[in-house]
Structure 1
């Protein structure tokens, strides 16, 4: 009897080995990246305690709770997934879109409401707004992970609209600073995390495309809001022009609050810090590059209109449309690079676009006619769009453990936000000291180019010197 059992066991082993060989022969060769994706796509397991009553051993069972690491379950399409892109589009419209609109307020404040303040002092309002957008996002990350997404969306929407309405009642610098910089900035920071994080749970292979489409909202918001303000302010005044924008913000944010839903949350709450990230050269170099690039990025957004008016290149009626031209071109700079980035890799995409952004900022020094200024600014908007749309995707690609993507993204944005905070006020101080816009463009261009060189080093650290490798 024992001999027959052992023979049967031998037959089963032989059959199992044969099957394994057949599977191995049929299984295609996978790249290292595909292996990582396959491993991440496996269901998470929980370990059950052994049953003391019957002494059964421990066993692994698939967890019933959805896992953020299960890439195979990511929809990558469908009505619900694309509705998240629509909702995120309007979140970008009312966060980065508001930041991109500040140039029109900068020009108006210099000649009207805050004419007693210097350009540098006025630019602190816009830079603080941008700083709070990114910095508050790092604080609200754990709130998102804890499942309070609806509160972030609702609270952020209320703060943004309330700040815009209060701005219409302001008459002094400190009032404008509290309403426009602090209130709207904090509200935008609450909205920014859901705008990025929710998309990453609905898309994996198409994440750069989806993020690019959503980020286009920031460009279109930056097109529409300046035109609305410029057209309405002379006829109905600053207060009601500002309120009109507030009502538009309310209507578009209602759409986001109605359609956005969380598909899956991380298993645990996000940590504020992941110090192991600073041991990875690619991550450190990319964060440093983003810091310097964003320090110089917004100089044309804030000062292009004043440059055209004060130098006599364009009359005020035409100069007010320069900011809309930058943002309109930036729409394509968010969508097209996002699509191409899914094919060739986001780091491969951002490096040449960022470098051209810095070079174009230098080109403004020699732009002396309205035609040349419009061409340079249109191209600037086109290529600078990648610096807003691609970083979230790049942080995903630089992080193997998807459970800490949020933490590392938050850390990177927090550091980058400091560059946003100080960049345009320094540009204003340079303008005050020299009286020439050429130094402002040189400052912005030099910082953007230097930041790009660091991002290029991050690309080499991540993917080596093979320019054909997808990184």
Structure 2
């Protein structure tokens, strides 16, 4: 099929297309190709003229590319390493500063923190697309480090709310740029690059619980938080110094550009489905010790429940990137979505015994970690390169409110169940299943239509 002139010119700017139409090659592979409308191309061409630079296609490697990816991984080590370790910290709060508070009350700390990380992504993504990540990284480093120092002096519930809000604002400043940077430098190997970035979150999910568990028994709470502040500052230095965008700086696009993605069914379904799926993604992380304790695991192993889950997450984040480069981003993304639901419903809702509890921790960690890795790659796959930061930021912002209330509702359901996870597990698993179905629905419809077309062609050939 002959290519339109504006399609050929599009390659010169290294831009990914947006509007989805089946191509002959993807009829065979079950994927979708994308084509920019003439209006969107005109805007992209004008943006390229403003920079007076031919950016060319992503290099898919090199020192600058891998340095940016490694630095972004350090950011995720801090932001999601600490966020997914809140179960460890909440257990400490319930035994010390917040003794007497309900589990639902304490769950608000992690929920508000996560909501602010996601909501800040829209603003940060827009700034990143226009100016690059440097200023955002420095601002986020100051806020994140300051939040740990603030936590060190907290003695009351409202003190902790403000301190965790500060961490959430700092995390929102750096999260979207860090997950978007791989789209600037990688195309063919984007799945692997994203996997390296998100693996930092899994590694942080191992490091932070270990640090807290060991230091809480050796140091005071205040000194432990000071150590975490210093560790956080050092971990963020690579992002402040070596993480750079490939695209030249340009004027921020008009606010009207936010309307464009909502005209595309695949993006709309991805955002809505992800918001439903993410409602309870942190609920198992916050309640891993509860699952272990109610399934007769020893107190020592129970204290490592969050760490066991995080180890599974670390493995999942490593494996899905190379796998996605082989079989397709959306194939792996859909599989991780449904597997997470299956593992929660099968292994988190009943009395599964010590072995089943450990399997539930590891398997949900692997699938949810894989999902968190692939959601960025899935968004990038249906977005133009100049809008990756904005579109990822919009997705996380839209998911912020459900993510705020999910763990709180689950905390209340745990109370109704007499301290057991059964109702919260059903709520979590079903929400993830519904979200998965919404996310993959456009691709399922496209696959079904392609299959019917092939069947029709086969019948005509036989006739």
Measured against the shorter chain, the TM-score band is 0.7 to 0.9
Which of 203, 215, 236 is equivalent to 1:232? Answer: 215
Following superposition, the deviation at residue 466 of structure 1 comes to 5.5
1:170 match: secondary structure: coil
* Partner residue in 2 for 1:196: 179
Give the 5 Å matches for 1:160-309: 160-180=144-164, 182-265=165-248, 267-271=250-254, 274-309=258-293
Conservation of the 8 A alpha-carbon contact between 2:69 and 2:196: yes
Distance 1:188 1:30 in 2: 42
Using the size of structure 2 for normalisation, the TM-score is 0.84
Following superposition, the deviation at residue 415 of structure 1 comes to 1.0
Following superposition, the deviation at residue 410 of structure 1 comes to 2.0
For residues 228-256 of structure 1, the C-alpha deviation after alignment (integer angstroms, 9 at most, x for no partner) is: 11111012122222222221111111122
1:146 match: secondary structure: helix
Conservation of the 8 A alpha-carbon contact between 2:295 and 2:352: no
Which of 43, 52, 60 is equivalent to 1:65? Answer: 52
Which of 128, 141, 153 is equivalent to 2:112? Answer: 128
Distance 1:252 1:403 in 2: 28
Sort the Cα spacing of 1:282 and 1:306 in 2 relative to 1 into closer, same or farther, 3 A.
Answer: same
Following superposition, the deviation at residue 464 of structure 1 comes to 4.6
Of 390-399 and 171-180, deviating more is 390-399
Conservation of the 8 A alpha-carbon contact between 1:313 and 1:368: no
Sort the Cα spacing of 1:410 and 1:265 in 2 relative to 1 into closer, same or farther, 3 A.
Answer: farther
* Partner residue in 2 for 1:407: 390
* Partner residue in 2 for 1:376: 360
Sort the Cα spacing of 1:289 and 1:34 in 2 relative to 1 into closer, same or farther, 3 A.
Answer: closer
Following superposition, the deviation at residue 312 of structure 1 comes to 6.5
Conservation of the 8 A alpha-carbon contact between 1:357 and 1:384: yes
Following superposition, the deviation at residue 124 of structure 1 comes to 0.9
Which of 92, 95, 98 is equivalent to 1:114? Answer: 98
Distance 1:287 1:64 in 2: 31
Give the 5 Å matches for 1:134-153: 134-147=118-131, 149-153=133-137
Distance 2:343 2:82 in 1: 23
Following superposition, the deviation at residue 445 of structure 1 comes to 0.8
* Partner residue in 2 for 1:460: 444
Sort the Cα spacing of 1:459 and 1:378 in 2 relative to 1 into closer, same or farther, 3 A.
Answer: same
For residues 8-41 of structure 1, the C-alpha deviation after alignment (integer angstroms, 9 at most, x for no partner) is: xxxxxxxxxxxxxxxxxxxxx984777959x999
Larger Cα Rg: Structure 1 or Structure 2? 1
Sort the Cα spacing of 1:98 and 1:46 in 2 relative to 1 into closer, same or farther, 3 A.
Answer: closer
Conservation of the 8 A alpha-carbon contact between 2:195 and 2:320: yes
* Partner residue in 2 for 1:18: none
For residues 419-465 of structure 1, the C-alpha deviation after alignment (integer angstroms, 9 at most, x for no partner) is: 21111011011122332321111111111111111122132245556
Give the 5 Å matches for 1:24-103: 31=25, 65-66=52-53, 72-103=56-87
Sort the Cα spacing of 1:317 and 1:148 in 2 relative to 1 into closer, same or farther, 3 A.
Answer: same
Conservation of the 8 A alpha-carbon contact between 1:141 and 1:270: no
Give the 5 Å matches for 1:353-432: 353-362=336-345, 363-399=347-383, 401-432=384-415
Distance 1:335 1:312 in 2: 29
Distance 1:212 1:406 in 2: 17
Structure 1: gaps (5+ residues): 1-28, 48-60
Distance 2:239 2:344 in 1: 34
Sort the Cα spacing of 1:261 and 1:402 in 2 relative to 1 into closer, same or farther, 3 A.
Answer: closer
After superposition, the CA RMSD in angstroms is: 2.8
Matched, 1:324 2:307: yes
Sort the Cα spacing of 1:63 and 1:365 in 2 relative to 1 into closer, same or farther, 3 A.
Answer: closer
Sort the Cα spacing of 1:279 and 1:421 in 2 relative to 1 into closer, same or farther, 3 A.
Answer: same
1:365 match: secondary structure: coil
Following superposition, the deviation at residue 105 of structure 1 comes to 1.0
Distance 2:132 2:237 in 1: 18
Structure 2: gaps (5+ residues): 1-22, 27-31, 452-463
For residues 293-343 of structure 1, the C-alpha deviation after alignment (integer angstroms, 9 at most, x for no partner) is: 11122221011113433x362333221211111111111211211222122
Conservation of the 8 A alpha-carbon contact between 2:291 and 2:348: no
* Partner residue in 2 for 1:451: 435
Following superposition, the deviation at residue 412 of structure 1 comes to 1.5
